[in-house]
Amino acid sequence: MWPQVHQEIDSVLGQTPPSYAQRSLLPYTTATLAEVQRIKPIAPLSVPHAASRDTTLNGYNIPQETWILVNLWSVHMDPKLFPEPNQFQPERFLDQDGNFVKHEALIPFGIGHRVCLGEQLAKMELFMLFLSLMQRFTFHLPEGAPEPSMLGSSAIFTALPVIWLARKPRVEVTKTSPIHPLEAPFFALIVQTKPGGLGITCAAVSVVFAVPGMANKRDDLDRNKGDIKKMESIPAFCIFTSTAVWAVVLLQVAPYFWDPLILPLYFSQSFGTKIELVGVLAGIPILIYGALEPLFALVENILCKHISTTVARKSMAVIGCLCVSGCLFVAAFTSNSVVAACFVAAAYGSHAAREVVANANIFDIAPRYASVISGISRGISRVVGLTFPLLVTAITKNKTLQEWSHVVLIKACVFAVTALIFGAFGSGQEQPWAAVPLQNQDGDGNKKSGSINGDVDNEKRPLVRK
């Protein structure tokens, strides 16, 4: 697959910056992305819909207000729609002349009048990200590495196992060839942690504001040069005993104690909100969160230029978590649906400040092992995300306001504890065990690259070394 994509990119673009307007000139690349979204959609099921009236579908009676889920995975893997569905074949989206053909059964962003609002922007950002990476790098499995499994596991989102890849630059980076914003680790991590069009939209805006500070850490990540063979053994003991690691893991796990999908149940069962308003009340906090996250990223980037990274990270995370906790405490003790909706929305807005720090902090403390720490937090997050709804079900047996108040209080306490732990143990400096010896260095050989040299913050190092 890669040679065909590279050949098409080289023949059409060469080394010129990519543009979304050129997608019609890159049919095979577009077909490849379509096949990726078909064979492994980010979510096996669409977001819940509800029947607005009694209806009949294929002989089945569907009462009003019934929740409906579209099985995206089943559609994409239907052999009647896509022959040999388990085979990765971008050619299925090309006609006889090699032009891209849109398939009506490809629905990774949902279907119906309420499809993902960010579908078009998500497709644009996905295309630009993939095109930029493929234009600049060649990816391959490390020597001796087994063929990766693509089975994964499906819950709310599709989870694939960690796959190690080696990369080889196709173009040498020089001072006259600036780093493209889409290569910043901040962008990649937000896209991973925010599935869907809104997440990618948030990532795109965040790149504009936050990439100047985050891209300066690119030289830390580039020391690997994608060569896994040269990588020393992962310091598992140091990772699992590092308080800074567990502080950022808790910061990333905390929001999974109350998934946004629970919000409709909270409003409908606590206050008897009509189904017509439940979607609005549950959607507004998410929109506020998505709008504020890039703004908090901008504030965080400005803070890092004037104070130390540790102080900036701690202040942003602690204030954000305490604001979330305070808003949820108010929501837990109110019986007014309007007050509850306002403070829940404020909590999600404050939650965006925590998210900015959680996304960036692993690159502060251990840029070389960021994927390992991210994998740990993802594993714990999925366990929490799957078990907490069961706890909610057990607590809200009678579906009363008092029972839901207990759920909200648990969430508030989790964020309060997160603020205390990150304030005490969080860090913005690279950990000693994560530093890497410089190759071809003069001196005693004990100096670690990427470590802090005196009072000079690592954000002030040159972006590209001579």
- Per-residue pLDDT tens for 305-333? 889 989 999 999 999 999 999 999 999 99
Of 44-53, 187-196, 391-400, which gets the smallest average pLDDT?
187-196
Check residue 416 and give its pLDDT: 94
Average pLDDT of the chain? 78
Indicate whether 82 pLDDT > 90.
yes
Check residue 457 and give its pLDDT: 44
434-439-444 Cα angle (round to 5): 85
Distance CA 218, CA 23 (A): 28
Consult the annotation and say whether 304 binds a ligand. Answer: no
Check residue 222 and give its pLDDT: 46
Of 146-160, 219-233, 407-421, 423-437, which gets the smallest average pLDDT?
219-233
* Percent of the residues in the chain that have a pLDDT greater than 70, as a whole number: 77
Distance CA 393, CA 419 (A): 27
Check residue 249 and give its pLDDT: 93
Q: What is the mean pLDDT of residues 78-89?
A: 91
Band the pLDDT of 20: cuts 50, 70, 90.
Answer: confident
More confident residue, 160 or 348: 348
Check residue 90 and give its pLDDT: 92
Check residue 448 and give its pLDDT: 42
Environment class of 350 (CB within 10 Å of its CB; exposed 0-12, middle 13-18, buried 19+): buried
Check residue 161 and give its pLDDT: 65
- The 10s digit of each residue's pLDDT in 177-235 is 333 333 333 333 333 344 445 444 544 544 444 444 444 444 444 444 444 444 457 88
Distance CA 255, CA 32 (A): 33
CA 84 to each of CA 32, 80, 209, 360: distance values in angstroms, whole numbers, following the listed order: 16, 9, 43, 40
Indicate whether 46 pLDDT > 90.
no
Of 124-128, 344-348, 454-458, which gets the smallest average pLDDT?
454-458
Distance CA 56, CA 329 (A): 43
State which CATH number among 1.20.1050.10, 1.10.540.10, 3.40.50.2300, 1.20.1250.20 fits the domain covering 2-50+62-460. 1.20.1250.20
Indicate whether 450 pLDDT > 50.
no
More confident residue, 362 or 455: 362
Indicate whether 135 pLDDT > 60.
yes
Q: What is the mean pLDDT of residues 411-439?
A: 86
**Residue 196 zone, left/alpha/beta (φ > 0; ψ -120 to 50; rest):** left
Indicate whether 112 pLDDT > 90.
no
Check residue 320 and give its pLDDT: 92
**According to the per-residue pLDDT averaged within each range, which of 12-16, 277-281, 441-445 is highest?**
12-16
Q: What is the mean pLDDT of residues 376-401?
A: 88
Indicate whether 345 pLDDT > 50.
yes
Check residue 436 and give its pLDDT: 61
What residues contact residue 80 under an 8 Å CB cut-off, 6+ apart? none
Check residue 315 and give its pLDDT: 92
CA 31 to each of CA 8, 78, 90: distance values in angstroms, whole numbers, following the listed order: 12, 18, 5
- The 10s digit of each residue's pLDDT in 365-380 is 988 888 889 889 888 9
Residue 239's DSSP bridge partners are: none
Return contacts of 146-153, CB within 8 angstroms, 24+ apart: 150/39, 150/40, 152/40
Indicate whether 334 pLDDT > 80.
yes
Check residue 413 and give its pLDDT: 94
Of 35-44, 55-64, 173-182, which gets the smallest average pLDDT?
173-182
More confident residue, 200 or 356: 356
Indicate whether 428 pLDDT > 80.
yes
Indicate whether 144 pLDDT > 90.
no
Band the pLDDT of 160: cuts 50, 70, 90.
Answer: low
Distance CA 67, CA 108 (A): 19
* Percent of the residues in the chain that have a pLDDT greater than 90, as a whole number: 24
Indicate whether 176 pLDDT > 60.
no
On whether the pTM is more than 0.75, the answer is no
CB-based contact 350:293 (threshold 8 Å): no
Indicate whether 148 pLDDT > 70.
yes
Q: Does an H or E element contain 348, and which?
A: helix 337-365
